[in-house]
Structure 1
């Protein structure tokens, strides 16, 4: 299904590092709570504390007799003490902690309905209609794999093509019609609707299916994370033009008149067709996603 196979080692998945960071953060919160309790002075137990009352000794008159009488010895009464409870404290029964239910993913071949439903939680119905009708995950994997090599796998696009055609302004020089940029605005809006955290969470949730699809085209599943990073880097490396770029017509197609733009990869030249403003929005989000994946 893939139009291009990539060779070489790719970056490993960072899911374990993400999990470790969450565990460390939890331990820090617990430690701060315990230390805060130690800094609080202990309060006195008013129930145990007793006032000790020492009675004044009674005065005894001295009798002058021939027989010597031993003086009366006054014994102070002991303060009342509580009898210590020597019974072992009862150990409370451990509270059962409910194990979180593991997410059950659908089979890869039956995942389209669930994927679209998950995306629909963050997007409008109009945006969801931009997704392909079938094999969304497989299409995404093949498209990303080619994109990482600077190629466009049009037959495997995970979204439907724009309805309007590419158009130019043919005057003294040929340039892209700025109205053509608007063809991609709904796609950029769809991409920009979800927050970076939602994008990463959705990807992480269905990562096993992405890895399964990646294995189907001949790779190790855990290498897909690195391929995704390579595809992001390919687009981030695309320069954003400050002015309209002159074109040259060749039969029914167009190419850039300047070599520095024409020598860009097919993926980068396709990215240019979105127009400067759309490119800036997409690049900003790609930077955020790349940063989140590398944490």
Structure 2
């Protein structure tokens, strides 16, 4: 399948979206903020101590040894100690995890937008689609796992700038075109991998529900997400600009090994080598965390 390009430096009338790697992380980042996990502190063992009371002893009377008759025997009073109380071990209280109430899938967009604003900049928030973010993400990831690009279901808006080429001795992609994906790649660095995966785990039921809506077993979505990540990780990163050839009003890669890549992988190439390296590094971390 040939990749569509615009002739010269003009913008295409209907350029394809390039959200290949970004959407995988976007699906997790936009999944509503995590409620604070408050662990109940364990109670320290306390031992009940009892004071021992010893009555005062009476003074021993003096004995006159000069008397012929022996003095009366002095008996010291018996001391009775109070019984020692049994040590009481306080009952151990297990920490209680706070219950998280997820919004209905059809009403999750408002909460998602509010949540994202706590983690991302206003510019990043504007990159999200206006409706059905989770449903869009699930469909998009399902297609990515098959090497396809579901343009109409992207969970983020497309770049404002268009794709352009440099038409000289050879035709190559204009490096300035890579910059239009910088805001999307920046989303990867906003949160740590642990935070990203924790968000995904907490709101996984909504993703699984959306996955069931399109005819799959809900719990299979995690495997589909891993397949989508693998599809992108398998995309080679070019060392130099790739030459293009003109095909009517479109362009395709001049070398067969690049042109035969899947549509999703060819879209990933449009990010440019530096952006691809950053995205791949984060995707590898997420894949490891998801499969622990």
Superposition TM-score tier, normalisation by shorter sequence: 0.7 to 0.9
Structure 1 residue 148 displacement after superposition: 0.6
Task: State how many pairs are aligned.
Answer: 252
Residues 233 and 283 of structure 2 are in contact (CA less than 8 Å); yes or no, is this contact kept in structure 1? Answer: yes
Q: Distance in 2 between matches of 1:117 and 1:294?
A: 29
For residues 13-28 of structure 1, what are the structure 2 equivalents within 5 Å?
none
Residues 173 and 242 of structure 2 are in contact (CA less than 8 Å); yes or no, is this contact kept in structure 1? Answer: yes
Paired residue for 1:61?
65
Q: Distance in 2 between matches of 1:244 and 1:119?
A: 36
The structure with higher relative contact order (CA 8 Å, sep 6+) is: 2
**Residue 105 (structure 1) aligned with residue 103 (structure 2):** yes
Residues 105 and 206 of structure 1 are in contact (CA less than 8 Å); yes or no, is this contact kept in structure 2? Answer: no
Residues 243 and 255 of structure 2 are in contact (CA less than 8 Å); yes or no, is this contact kept in structure 1? Answer: yes
Paired residue for 1:76?
76
Q: Distance in 1 between matches of 2:176 and 2:109?
A: 33
**Residue 150 (structure 1) aligned with residue 147 (structure 2):** yes
Cα deviation, 1:210-254, whole Å, max 9, x if unaligned, reads 111111111001111110111111111222222222222222222
Q: Report the TM-score, using the length of structure 1 for normalisation.
A: 0.72
Q: Distance in 1 between matches of 2:255 and 2:61?
A: 115
Paired residue for 2:276?
279
Give the direction of change, closer, same or farther, for the CA distance of 1:93–1:285 in structure 2 (3 Å limit): closer
Aligned with residue 47 of structure 1, among 21, 29, 51: 51
Give the direction of change, closer, same or farther, for the CA distance of 1:186–1:98 in structure 2 (3 Å limit): closer
Residues 55 and 76 of structure 1 are in contact (CA less than 8 Å); yes or no, is this contact kept in structure 2? Answer: no
Residues 165 and 171 of structure 2 are in contact (CA less than 8 Å); yes or no, is this contact kept in structure 1? Answer: yes
Runs of 5+ unmatched residues, structure 2: 1-38
Structure 1 residue 178 displacement after superposition: 0.7
Q: Distance in 2 between matches of 1:83 and 1:168?
A: 96
Structure 1 residue 122 displacement after superposition: 1.0
Structure 1 residue 98 displacement after superposition: 8.5
Structure 1 residue 85 displacement after superposition: 7.6
Cα deviation, 1:133-190, whole Å, max 9, x if unaligned, reads 2221111111100101111111211111111111112222222111010011111113
Q: Distance in 1 between matches of 2:96 and 2:137?
A: 36
Q: Report the TM-score, using the length of structure 2 for normalisation.
A: 0.72
Q: Distance in 2 between matches of 1:143 and 1:177?
A: 27
Paired residue for 1:270?
267
For residues 201-240 of structure 1, what are the structure 2 equivalents within 5 Å?
201-240=198-237
For residues 175-214 of structure 1, what are the structure 2 equivalents within 5 Å?
175-214=172-211
Cα deviation, 1:68-123, whole Å, max 9, x if unaligned, reads x45643323334x443388x99999999x9884441412x2332222222222211
Structure whose alpha-carbon radius of gyration is higher = 1
